[in-house]
Amino acid sequence: MQQVKTGDVVKVHYTGKLTSGEQFDSSVGREPLEFTVGAGQMIKGFDAAMPGMTIGEKKTINIAPEDGYGHRVDEAIIPFPKENVPSDMILEPGMSLTLSNQMGQPVPVVVVEVQETVIILDANHFLAGQELVFDIELVEIA
């Protein structure tokens, strides 16, 4: 029976949860997720769980923050000049926004606090610092 190895293109169904059981993502009801094992397309812990799996195999894995979306970092809490926001935009804590980095790539942020001249934004990934639990089913090895 064929086993997954680094470099294989695979298709998987998955459900991602926090350790509390709260689900944050799933491919159930959609096309399976396709990626190349070991190519850096997935978080490290997910990628590392694939080698050795066989078609139809299911497993549940726990991924520590360092093998997922990393730990939360203070450097990702940034003050943003309020003058750079459209005057008709109502900003509230918890609101999600998208900024662009120097290369024009989108960076999702969350409004932490609205002050008189700046908005405090959190650019940490929303899953940073979280232990993740994934239920994985290998559907295909291409």
Q: Is the pLDDT of residue 102 over 90?
A: no
What are 8-22's pLDDT values in tens digits?
999 999 999 999 999
Q: Is the pLDDT of residue 87 over 90?
A: no
Domain ranges of the chain: 9-70+127-141, 74-122
Q: Residue 16 is inside which H or E element, if any?
A: strand 9-18
Q: Residue 27 and residue 16: Cα distance in Å, rounded? A: 9
74-122 matches 9-70+127-141 in CATH topology: no
Task: Give the CATH number of domain 9-70+127-141.
Answer: 3.10.50.40
Q: Residue 24 and residue 108: Cα distance in Å, rounded? A: 16
Q: Is the pLDDT of residue 101 over 90?
A: no
What are 31-62's pLDDT values in tens digits?
999 999 999 999 999 999 999 999 999 999 99
pLDDT of amino acid 115? 96
pTM: 0.84
Q: Tell the CATH topology of 74-122.
A: Thrombin, subunit H (2.40.10)
Q: Is the pLDDT of residue 1 over 90?
A: no
